[in-house]
Structure formats: structure tokens, C-alpha cells
Amino acid sequence: MTTAPITESAHHDEVSHGTPWKEYFSFSTDHKVIGIQYLVTSFVFYLIGGVLAELVRTELATPASDFVSREVYNELFTMHATIMIFLWIIPSLTGGFGNFLVPLMIGAKDMAFPKLNAIAFWIIPPTSVLLLLSFFVGPASAGWTSYPPLSLITNKAGEAIWIASIILLGTSSIMAGLNFLVTILKMRIPSMPMNKMPLFCWSMLATSALQLVATPVLTGAMVLLGFDLIIGTAFFNPTGGGDPIVYQHMFWFYSHPAVYIMILPAFGMISEILPVHARKPIFGYQAIAYSSIAISFLGLIVWAHHMFTSGTPDWLRMFFMIATMVIAVPTGIKVFSWVATVWGGKLRLCSAMLFGMAFVSMFVVGGLSGVMVAAVPFDIHVHDTYFIVAHLHYVLFGGSVFGIYSGIYHWFPKMTGRMLNEPLGKLHWALTFVGFNMTFLPMHILGLQGMNRRVAEYDPQFATINMICTIGSYILAVSTVPFIINAIWSWIGGDKASDNPWQALTLEWTTPSPPPHENWEIEPVLVVGPYDYGKNHKMPVNMPPAKAEPVLATGSTTQDEGNPDVANENSEE
């Protein structure tokens, strides 16, 4: 088995005592602490958003509006989506995994701007408290898309708080994006050129570009919407001569790229996790790396596919339809490459791998429905129906959330120095997989048959299917229990993790678990490619330079062999 033998520092035991818990509540500038701060905070919001979702599903268990009032119902789904998107998926994927992994993967001591990093994180807790406080004044209730004029006339105080929160969270996201971009471009160890970078770093590069380019437009839209709301300007308000469609353009110019901000990091994690547990190199390194960049670019020119029924001119609908369909090609390349990576491997079916494979499996469903809704004539039928709800949950839950879980199972040992419990992990996986499909698969049918979204009541003909969805959502709620128990219990008393429990080859596994402050005592040198599995020979320990005490090195095959971009030369089986 290819391993990256590590000559550990003589001070190993003293270095890897982990971070004192108090530090997690401080303004720490250590990227690992910040990463874990992001992950834990966002997970708490996942649970809060989840409770809101269960309330929504409970209302929808029966056709009549009989559980909460219609006003409250609209508040529930608006806050559910807002919390899930802005306080769970974006912060956990970019802030959480991005922060923890990027410096470790490129051999850096920390992010380029550690203070900025800490500020970006510390914007989130007060903002989220602010957002939650809006429950006391009646929170925003115009959907997470907050289209005017509706958003200007319902629950104004809550809407104002919502706008302020989005501006603050957007600012945090821009700061984080800037930090990742500079870190990835400038802080790699000298022996790591771009084309030997782990694929997660490529995907974070693509993500950070989107954060930087798209988020300011959202901020702009929010400022204008806030003016309309608070001081009565008429940028978007038709009663004063404004144009509500302009808001939609500005909103989706950000929010379509935002869906890629929510999936590209997960793409990257899956590209790391599958090879490790399949004991096989990633299939088509360059294709996966460049397709991230392609998706990032194309993602900027497809936004109006959310507006096919808004009165968008015909030629624009056609342009955005074709651009949207084109994105399916780089996305397909990734999916096929992952399948080919797994194919013929020696699969270690641990929880991380199971979630990783489930990610591919579920994301494909969302990708296929995505291409379908890109076709304008069909989208005109299903737009704003449960078909869209199904699509977005297959990509965001089946994609992003499965990706996050996979990442947690995979990197938990590195983050905490403890192993997660495998049987509990598998139980978590099975419950999540079943609950997820039971909740969201039937929604495709609902949408096609005529059930619109964001409704508290519906036609009785849809009662059976909705009941199935609601039961599925309860299974999903239960599925988090084994995970939470597992995470807390393992963090405190789980088996001690070795430095490299998965025999993985990327740099983060060459340092102790958990890594010491500043990650390595001596800057690591890249001697083996990130995906060079399958060499199957015992490797001699890399001898350290004569002067120092034993150093860290990642592997010992010669540099040429460890080169992912020679991939194509030995491509035949």
C-alpha cells in the first residue's frame, strides 16, 4: 500500500497536544481554530434551520393550512432557506473546510491574512444572533429571494434585519474569498506548482473568484432594497416608477454563482476523498481542475435561468438556456471522472467513502434535473414548483450536505486527533440516505403534477405524496442524532488518531493529528504527488538534511513518479 512514511519530529508528543478549548472562544488567528469555529457554528445553524424545515414539513403533512398561521409559515420557509444557505452551507464549506484545509494542503503556516480571517469569522456570530432576534419582530417572510415589491410590504422590521444580515454575511464572505485567493496563489511551498495542487485547492480557487466577483452585486442589491424599504426610494418599487425585475437580475447575478460557491468546495473534497479510500489515483486530474475554473466562469453568465417566466425577452431566454446547458459538460466531466476513480479501485467502505459515493449518486440526480429545467419550454411549466424544490435539494443536500458529512468523517481525525466511530457513522449514512430520498424524490412528481412552491396549503390530490415527504423529513431529523452523539463522544473519548490514519498522500497528513500551531516545524517538501496511489512498494524513509533533527517529509518515490500531470502518459489499463 502506498503510504507516505513520515519521519516525525522528535518533539511530536509535545507538539500535538491539541488546542486548549478556550482558544475556540477567542479571537484566534490560527486558521485551524477558525476553521473549526466555522464548522461548529455553522452546524448549530444547520440544526436550527433543520427545526424550521421540520415545522414547514409538519404544516405540509396535510393539505389544509392547519398547523401554523399562513404568515408564520412564510416566515418559517424564508428563515429556513436563509439560514441553510448563508449560515450553514457557505460558512461550513468555505469558512470551515477551506480554512482548515487550504493552508495544510499547500504547506503553508497559515492563511495570507490571519487577522482578516478572524474578522471574517467573528462577523458571523453577532450577525446570526441579529437575524434570529428578528423572530421577535416578525422575521422576513418574502422567501430567501426576497423579491420586491412583496419584500417591501410584509414584515418590514424583519425584512430590514434580514437585509442588514445579508450585507454583513456577504462582507464576511468577500473577506474570506480574498484570503483564499491570495493564499492559494502566493503561499504554496516552492515545490508545489499549480498543477500539483490538491484538487480541493483548485476548487477553492474557483470558489473564491466567485465570492469576489459576485457577492458585491448582492450587497448592492441589498443596499438599494434597504433604501426602498426604509427611506422609500423607488429603485425596485413600481409604485414609484421602479423596476422589480432589475432586482431579480441583481439578486441572481449573485445567487446563481452562489450555488457554485455552495458546491465547488464539495466537489473539491470529493476529489480528495474518493482516491484515498479507493486506493487509486484521481482519474483525470487536469480535467477536474480545469472544469472547476470553467464552471466558475460559466456560472457568471447563466443567472437569468431563474427568470424564464419573469417577462425576460425571448433572445435572452435562449442565450441563458444555452449557457446553462453548457455548464452540464464540465459538470459531467467531473461526475464521470469520479466514477472512473472508484471503478476498479479497492474501496474501503468507511463512512467518509459511503457519503462520498452517495454524493456522486445524489448530485447526478440534481444535475440531470438541472439540465431539464434549463430547457426554457419545460422550465416554464415547472418554474416555482416542487420540481425546483426537488432539484435544489438534490444538489444542495444530496450534494453539498453529503459532501460536508463526507469531509467531516474524513478529516475529523486530523482536526481533533480522534477517530469517529464507524458503526455509528454507517447508521448515520443509511438513515440520511433513506430519509433524504424519501423526502425529496417524490417532490419531482408533485411539481410536475401541479403543486406550486412556498404554499401553506395545497390541493388534496397531493396529500399522499406530501405525507411521504413529511415522514421522510422526520427520518432525516432522526438521522442527525447518531451523528451528533458520535461527534461529541468521539471528540472527547474516541480512539486516538494517528497522523495519517487513511494512508493518504496530501500534505495535511504529514503533520501530527491535530496539527501544531503553524502546522509544521520545518516547511514540508513535496516529494510525492497528491494522488499517487498504486505504487505498492515499500518506500525508504526520506532522509532529512544532515544538520537537523528528523524532519517531516511526505513520501519517498521520486519526484517524477509523483507527478499528477504525467497522468495521461500511463493512461491505458
Partner 1 sequence: MNVPSSVATLIVGIAITLISVWVGQNNGLLPTAASVEAAQIDNLFNAMMAIATGLFLLVQGALLYSLFAFRKRKGDETDASPIHGNVPLEIVWTAIPSAIVLWLAIYSFDVYQSVNSGGFMGSDHMAHAQSKVVNVSNQTQLADMGSGMANPIDDSLVINVKGLQYAWLFYYDGTDIVSGDLHVPAGRPVELNINAQDVIHAFWVPEFRLKQDAVPGAETHLAFTPNKTGNYPIICAELCGAYHGAMKTRVIVETPEEYEAWYSSRIVATSDNASDVAEASPHAGHQMASLTLNPDNLKDLQTPSVASQEIQALLSSAEPLTAPNL
Residues found near ligand HEM in the complex (CB under 6 A): 145, 259, 262-263, 305-306, 324, 327-328, 331, 367, 370-371, 373-374, 379, 383, 388, 391-392, 395-396, 399-400
Which residue, 44 or 347, has its beta carbon nearer to partner 1? 347
Q: What minimum distance in Å lies between the beta carbon of 382 and ligand HEM?
A: 6
Nearest distance in Å: CB 488, partner 1: 30
Q: Tell which one of 381, 496, 517, 538 touches partner 1 (CB under 8 A).
A: 381
Among 132, 187, 301, 372, interactor with partner 1 by CB under 8 A: 372
Q: Which stretch binds Cu ion (CB under 5 A): 129-137, 203-211, 242-250, 254-262?
A: 254-262
Q: Which of 346, 363, 374, 424 is nearest to 398 (CA)?
A: 363
Name the binder of 193 from Cu ion, partner 1, ligand HEM, none, CB < 5-8 A by kind: none
N residues, the chain: 573
Using the rule CB under 8 A, give the single segment among 45-53, 251-259, 448-456, 471-479 that binds partner 1: 448-456
Q: Give the phi and the psi of residue 452 in degrees, each rounded to 5.
A: -80, 160
- Please give the residues from 512 up to 541 whose contact with partner 1 meets the rule CB under 8 A: 531-536
Q: Is 426 an interacting residue with respect to partner 1 (CB under 8 A)?
A: no
Binder of residue 349, out of partner 1, Cu ion, ligand HEM, none (CB less than 5 to 8 A by kind) = partner 1
Check binding of 29 to partner 1 (CB under 8 A): no
The answer to whether 108 touches 117, Cβ cutoff 8 Å, is no
Whether 438 contacts 471, CB under 8 Å = yes
Q: 523, exposed or middle or buried, with CB in 10 Å at 0-12, 13-18, 19+?
A: middle
CB 511 → partner 1: shortest distance, Å?
23
# chain residues binding partner 1, by CB under 8 A = 110
Q: Between 256 and 444, whose beta carbon lies closer to Cu ion?
A: 256
Q: Which does 388 bind (CB under 5 to 8 A by kind): ligand HEM, partner 1, Cu ion, none?
A: ligand HEM
In the region spanning residues 332 to 351, those forming contacts with partner 1, defined by CB under 8 A, are 332-333, 335-337, 339-340, 342-349
256 touching Cu ion, by CB under 5 A: yes
The residue within the footprint of partner 1, chosen from 20, 190, 377, 540 (CB under 8 A), is 377
Cα angle 243, 245, 251 (rounded to 5 degrees) comes to 120
Distance CA 434, CA 479 (A): 9
CA atoms within 13 A on the CB side of 257: 26
Please check whether residue 262 is in contact with residue 396, taking contact to mean a CB–CB distance below 8 angstroms: yes
**Nearest-approach distance from CB 209 to ligand HEM, in angstroms:** 16
Q: 418 φ, ψ to 5°?
A: -125, 150
From first CA to last CA, the distance across the chain in angstroms is 19
- The kind and range of the H/E element at 122 are helix 114-133
Dihedral pair phi/psi, residue 496, rounded to 5°: -65, 135
Contacts of 26 (CB under 8 A, 6+ apart): none
Nearer to ligand HEM, 2 or 400 (CB): 400
Q: What are phi and psi of 421, to 5 degrees?
A: -75, 125
> Of residues 170-229, which lie at the interface with partner 1 (CB under 8 A)?
none
Q: How far is the CB of 287 from partner 1 (least distance, A)?
A: 6
Site membership for Cu ion, residue 383 (CB under 5 A): no
**Distance from C-alpha of 468 to C-alpha of 61, rounded to nearest angstrom:** 8
Under rule CB under 5 A, how many of the chain's residues touch Cu ion?
Answer: 1
The Cα–Cα gap between 190 and 525 comes to 8
Query: Which of 429, 422, 401 is closest to 497 using CA atoms?
Result: 422
Residue 263 touches which member of partner 1, ligand HEM, Cu ion, none, C-beta under 5-8 Å by kind: ligand HEM
User: 44 or 328, CB closer to ligand HEM?
Assistant: 328
Q: How far is the CB of 43 from partner 1 (least distance, A)?
A: 27
Residue in this structure with the C-alpha cell 457519503, named with its chain if needed: 355
CA atoms within 13 A on the CB side of 271: 31
- Which of 7, 130, 454, 475: binder of partner 1 (CB under 8 A)? 454
- d(Cα 492, Cα 349) in Å, to the nearest integer? 25
32 is a site residue for Cu ion (CB under 5 A):
no
Question: Is the separation of the CB atoms in 525 and 191 below 8 Å?
Answer: yes
**Minimal distance, residue 164 CB to ligand HEM, in Å:** 21
Judged by CB, which is closer to ligand HEM: 345, or 399?
399
Residue 269 CB, shortest distance to ligand HEM, in Å, is: 14
Q: Choose which of 9, 165, 203, 385 interacts with partner 1 (CB under 8 A).
A: 385
Residue with the CB atom nearest ligand HEM in the bound state: 370
- Calculate the dihedral angle through the C-alpha atoms of 8, 14, 19, 23, rounding to the nearest 10 degrees: -140
With CA atoms as reference, report the closest residue to 336 among 382, 284, 301.
284
Q: Which does 392 bind (CB under 5 to 8 A by kind): Cu ion, ligand HEM, partner 1, none?
A: ligand HEM
Please give the grid coordinates belonging to residue 67.
398547523
63 belongs to the binding site for partner 1 (CB under 8 A)? yes
**Which one of 225-233, 238-246, 253-261, 500-508 is the stretch in contact with Cu ion (CB under 5 A)?**
253-261
Give me the half-sphere count of Cα atoms (radius 13 Å) on the Cβ side of residue 410.
Answer: 31
Cβ at position 219, least distance to ligand HEM in Å: 19
In 440-513, DSSP assigns E strands to none
Positions touching Cu ion (CB under 5 A) are 256
